[in-house]
Amino acid sequence: MNLNPNTYTYISKSSYNLILIIIGYVGLVLTWFFGISDKVFYFSYLTSYFYWLSIILGGMFFIMVHYAFSSTWSVSIRRLMENTIMLIPLFTLPFLPVLYGMEKLFKWLPNHYYWKTHDFEADHLIQHKLAYLNEDSFIFRALLYFVLWNIISIYIYYNSIKHDRTGEIKILENLRYFCMSPMGVFFFISLTGAGLDWHMSLDPHWYSTMFGVYTFAGAFLAFLAFLTFTIIRMQDQGYLKGIVSTEHFHDLGKYLFAFTVFYCYIAGAQFYFIWYSNIPEETIWYLHRWIGSWKIISVLLIVGKFFIPFFILIFRGSKRNIRLLQVMTIWILFMHYIDINFIIMPTVHKTNFHFGLYDLFTMISFALIFVGGFKFITTRSNLVPLNDTELVHSINHRNH
């Protein structure tokens, strides 16, 4: 197989990428310094943090599925997935401000400002949940999540790079067994737990048995959009040409369409069941999002996260139109932020959607860390796994 080295070797200035990461961290520290006593800061921080983290976690799911089922068509884009999940170490330390601001974020803590005007002991719903919702168990679960995510990402990435050097088929077999092992189950539990702990518990009176799947659907859809956009961007710069074809974009477009429908199914079912049962502790979550400008955001999510991508991506030609697909990935990533904001921010902004300086600076800072980290990791290896015997089949992949 003769490949032009210029198409699979990504050359970039490592020092520039490191500078982006450093600026991102400095931006987070400075924003935290100015907002350390303001509860609004912590909600903005959590929103921006989970937006970028969810893309990494969505990639973690995709790469584990790839190895577990020995996928062939995606071999040529596998390394980009591996580079994405290796960002998890960069996003581990930035969770500390969330722990520091717990008293301002989570109402189930007895020293939360809410209890200055209410009786904590008399709130029976929260009292019944304290076995799960307490500071020690919250921190312990978060520690387990990040340990698990770092183990998964580092194990997959370094074994894949090792296979690039040695070509040992046993390495790929071990990766397959690893992703088919209980690690996959633990990952889903951790992703569900993160959604419950960091999102749903912001309003501890509310609960939904579908929220874990809702979290997963949004994260995976966001990662698919990021991956597709990144590949298109790289091809515009001259990379991956002849390696990733219209057939791969067609498959990615099918995934984008399928999980747009899946997300709508989960979000819609969650709403219908809660609204139909009409239990005050459940419906109040939606009522809070149906006042002021939050009503506009609610409608925007219905139209923007489902109807627009659905009626565009449903056509075969749309999935094979690279520029249209690129526009749709940007739109989906934008709507993903609106979705995360819709989940978190009504807890502090009761009546209207608000995008302030905290939101802007935390979003930009995490973007710099994410982009700088991704580009830095991408310079450390070839863009494709050259020693994988299935690479030639992936390059020649065709939809039928």
Segment 111-120, tens digit of pLDDT? 888 888 888 8
Whole-model pTM: value is 0.96
Of the candidates 178, 162, 232, the residue with the CA atom closest to the CA atom of residue 380: 162
CB 227 within 8 A of CB 80: yes
What's residue 2's pLDDT?
Answer: 55
d(CA 118, CA 114) in angstroms, rounded, equals 7
CB 148 within 8 A of CB 113: no
What's residue 114's pLDDT?
Answer: 83
- The count of other CB atoms within 10 Å of the CB of residue 257 is 20
Cα separation of the two ends of the chain: 24
What's residue 3's pLDDT?
Answer: 62
CB 44 within 8 A of CB 359: yes
- What is the DSSP secondary structure assignment for residue 208, as one 8-state letter? -
Segment 150-193, tens digit of pLDDT? 999 999 999 999 999 998 999 999 999 999 999 999 999 999 99
- What is the DSSP secondary structure assignment for residue 134, as one 8-state letter? S
Segment 355-379, tens digit of pLDDT? 999 999 999 999 999 999 999 999 9
d(CA 373, CA 371) in angstroms, rounded, equals 5
d(CA 56, CA 85) in angstroms, rounded, equals 5
H/E element, 84: helix 75-85
- What is the DSSP secondary structure assignment for residue 123, as one 8-state letter? -
Average pLDDT of the chain is 93
Q: 180-203 burial string, b = 16+ CB within 10 Å, else e? A: eeebbebbeebbbbbbbbbbbbbb
Segment 195-223, tens digit of pLDDT? 999 999 999 999 898 999 999 999 999 99
pLDDT band per the 50, 70, 90 thresholds, residue 14:
low
The size of the chain, in residues, is 400
